[in-house]
Structure 1
Amino acid sequence: MHLGALFVASHVLSSGSVRETARRFSLAASTVSASVSNLESELAIKLTKRSSGELVKLIASGKVRDALRPIMHAVEQLYEIAGERAEAFERWASRIPIKLVTIERFLEVADQGSINRAARRLQLGQPQLSLQIANLEKFVGHQLLERQAQGSTLTEKGRRVYGIFSVVSQAWNDLKSTADERYRRVARSLRIGSIIPTGAESWVARCLGALVADWNAGHSKNAISLISMTADDLREALRSGRIDVAILDSVFELESFGHRELLRTDLVAIAPPASTGQTVADLVAEHPICTPSERTGLGDAATALSRERTVSRRFRNQDIMAADSLPVIVDLVANHGYISFLGRVSALPIADRVRIVELAEHIPISYHVAFNHRKASADACAMIAAVVDKIISEPVAKTGCCRLKRLSANEGD
């Protein structure tokens, strides 16, 4: 990465605007955006995102901006040396062509007192290193090394530049070491995403809790990182590589990943405890409806079913057709007079809060686990399936619910 690109990216993190930075430094907006992207790549962290066409700074951007301040101060000091014949500071600083790796190589030459010795340590050709030092001197506008028979020594300007570059090197290495450690943690971590549990007593929450306990008891070298999100977000996160394993209610658009069915249950209606409707048609006619998004397996089945019963609806404009948080849906049903639809396995643990109403027809709902190519992901899937086996056997035994059954695991193609 170039020192000039660091200067540009730092200004974006301060101003929060690519366009303003581009205008201020007379650069193309694409050049400014590339500077930020390069910094994100170097540090293995997301600093900004686009929202409604505007740049939004993320929390990490403030820490990186602060960590870059010593480098920005060093750039000002370098300008004092090179600026005797340079243009206006900001235009000059945003175009510094010096690579950070060149700075490290200059410091190595100064420390070794010899281009030849530095080249051997850096495993570079001596002519290549000599050319890089010569280009550096040309940019600064001063001779930095005095070549002698026994080696090279720093000139007066060279000593000043050495001090400036030492600050740059230390600040950058501090930033990179943090990024490298973060990368190692991510590489070791197994990121598991799941649909949002209905509550702590739900089969999803219990499954994840048991998975963590069993995983750590086995002294796995991979740490587990858990995150819950909507089924639609889970698909996108798995495709983009932000998670390694996803527990969700449909493998729609995930057929290229490994996947297996965890369990199959049937759809039931959940209604307020004080409700009196005995059929789904009665409940739909008397209560507003909330369902998960139609982009999920559960939401698709629930929405189709509710629409079939909307002929005599009196609360049509009160419907919530895409409440993607299951805890919110449960609260709306338990406390605010709504009805919804869940898989039986999700409804049974909250039977003390809602009334479960059977459907006239059997509508199957399947839950799946999808995973990427990592061996740790496949290992986690096997453990998740084993945990689910234990969990779903309890409600079957206790409630006599014969319509909930575990299927033999089918590996995805």
Structure 2
Amino acid sequence: MDIAAIAVCVAVIEAGGIRAAARVTGRPAASVSAAMRRVEAALSLPLLRREAQATVPTVEARRRLPELRAIARAAEMLAPRGREGADGDVTTLTISLTVLFRFVALADGGSIRATAARLGIGQPQLSRQIAALEADTGRKLVERQRDGVRLTAEGAALLPVMRGIVDRWQRLAAGSGLRFRHSATTWRLGTIMPLGPESRIARLLAALLDRWHRERPRQPLYLSSTTADELIAGLRHRRFDAALLDVADLPTGVEGRPVASAGLALMAARRPGEDTAGARPQSLLAGRPLALPSPQSGLRQIANRYLDDTFDGGQRQRLHLAEVDSIPVILNLVLHHGYAAILPETAVAAPPGNLLVLPLPDEYRQTLSLVWLPEPAARDGAQAVLSMLHDLSRAAMQPESDWQPAGTRT
């Protein structure tokens, strides 16, 4: 780790992203991104996350910003006089924190030979590193004497600065080893968003997590729910090892297997005095807005296909759509605000008497598939998940539920 990477990291967090920091520092975006990756690796923490089409700092990055900023500001004292200018920019100051640590150790020990022995390195290596530090700072820091080394006035003035930088970094990196081991062993599963805490998918995922932790205690399982598009992006960027998707066509570059399917239905609350005998989709949607998840969800993609196949162009254009990426909110709109929606038939555990449910044809069933990266670790975890899902599916997805293990029909 070096001072320049930390200074660039601070610029990224303060500016809010890679491109903004590249403009501020005058460095190529690729160089800024590489510096961020080095700091992330050293801390074993994700400091950036993708949001829409941009990368933004994580909560952990903002939490550690004060310490990182303090290091960057202290490092301004190490810049060669006149080279960095009045702005105190240290984003090109490639002084290694290891060298600073060794300088502090030398100042405390007073002997190159004894310090090198204590650090487990050769005397020539330590001498070269101290000479490089003097060249990087543009200052004479130590003087050799017959009985060891002595700090110059400039070396003594900079020693508290270097010690402070080393101490702050050690505090920041204190848990990195544990975080690295945890991160390296954690298996990450992304899933579609369950309908609610009592939904069959939520129960299945809870049972899966419990069983995984009992059977594979040395490998934590991390679950994260989001839209289908975000799950696919997460797989491609290796934020997930595998994902439970509800899209009809599996993405390229992954392996996968269907695990369950469920019927969909058009739902709406009956209006007072409304004749719903023999109701058809066209009549059900007459005067009712339609609440659907965003196009990034697999459910919306199936709903779009159904609407395109069922309504002509004019009818389709007259539909008033409300996009909501929250199934509980959609249900509330249906039950209490006069909306219609296309949802899994089991979305409402105890349907009220005024709820109209028109099942969609079987070609519009929602299929749940497990997909994973074609890599040994991901494949091993996926096979374990498939085995557990096979054992759990009939218990978590009860026969009265329309969710069924893939390949079975009632």
Superposition TM-score, scaled by structure 1 size: 0.79
- Count of aligned residue pairs for this structure pair: 398
Alignment of 1:281-292 (within 5 A): 281-285=282-286, 287-292=288-293
2:127 to 130, 139, 147: 130
Q: What secondary structure is seen at the aligned counterpart in 2 of 1:349?
A: coil
Q: Which amino acid aligns with 1:134?
A: A
Task: Return the offset for 1:172.
Answer: 1.0
Q: Which amino acid aligns with 2:398?
A: S
How far apart are the structure 1 equivalents of 2:262 and 2:155? Answer: 74
Alignment of 1:4-403 (within 5 A): 4-14=4-14, 27-28=26-27, 30=29, 35-36=35-36, 38-47=38-47, 57-78=57-78, 83=81, 88-91=85-88, 93-218=90-215, 220-250=217-247, 252-254=249-251, 256-274=253-271, 276=276, 278-285=279-286, 287-294=288-295, 296-311=297-312, 316-320=317-321, 322-344=323-345, 346-347=346-347, 349=349, 351-352=351-352, 354-359=355-360, 363-372=364-373, 373-374=377-378, 375-395=380-400
Give runs of ≥4 in structure 1 deviating > 6 Å: 17-25, 49-55, 312-315
Q: Which amino acid aligns with 1:144?
A: L
Q: Percent identity?
A: 28
How far apart are the structure 2 equivalents of 1:159 and 1:240? Answer: 47
CA RMSD, 1 decimal = 3.7
The question of whether the paired residues in 2 share the 8 Å contact of 1:293 and 1:323 is answered with yes
Task: Return the offset for 1:196.
Answer: 1.2
- Looking at secondary structure, tell me which structure has more helix per residue: 1
Task: Please say which of residues 249-258 and 307-316 is displaced more in the overlay.
Answer: 307-316
How far apart are the structure 1 equivalents of 2:304 and 2:50? Answer: 32
Pair 1:20–1:270, CA change in 2 (3 A):
closer
How far apart are the structure 1 equivalents of 2:289 and 2:52? Answer: 32
Q: Which amino acid aligns with 2:405?
A: R
Q: What secondary structure is seen at the aligned counterpart in 1 of 2:292?
A: coil
The question of whether the paired residues in 2 share the 8 Å contact of 1:145 and 1:158 is answered with yes
Q: What secondary structure is seen at the aligned counterpart in 2 of 1:241?
A: coil
Q: What secondary structure is seen at the aligned counterpart in 2 of 1:393?
A: coil
Q: Which amino acid aligns with 1:391?
A: A
How far apart are the structure 2 equivalents of 1:153 and 1:294? Answer: 68
> Any idea what the Cα deviations from partners look like across 1:156-193, whole Å, max 9, x if unmatched?
43333332211111111111224444333333433332
How far apart are the structure 1 equivalents of 2:338 and 2:182? Answer: 46
Task: Return the offset for 1:136.
Answer: 1.6
Which residue is 2:405 aligned to? 406
How far apart are the structure 2 equivalents of 1:215 and 1:54? Answer: 34
Q: What secondary structure is seen at the aligned counterpart in 1 of 2:261?
A: strand
Task: Please say which of residues 117-126 and 59-68 is displaced more in the overlay.
Answer: 117-126
Give structure 1 stretches of 5+ with no counterpart.
Answer: none
Q: Which amino acid aligns with 2:259?
A: L
Task: Return the offset for 1:195.
Answer: 1.1
Task: Return the offset for 1:143.
Answer: 3.2
Give structure 2 stretches of 5+ with no counterpart.
Answer: none
The question of whether the paired residues in 1 share the 8 Å contact of 2:372 and 2:382 is answered with yes
Which residue is 1:3 aligned to? 3
How far apart are the structure 2 equivalents of 1:23 and 1:292? Answer: 37
The question of whether the paired residues in 2 share the 8 Å contact of 1:264 and 1:366 is answered with yes
How far apart are the structure 1 equivalents of 2:262 and 2:21? Answer: 56
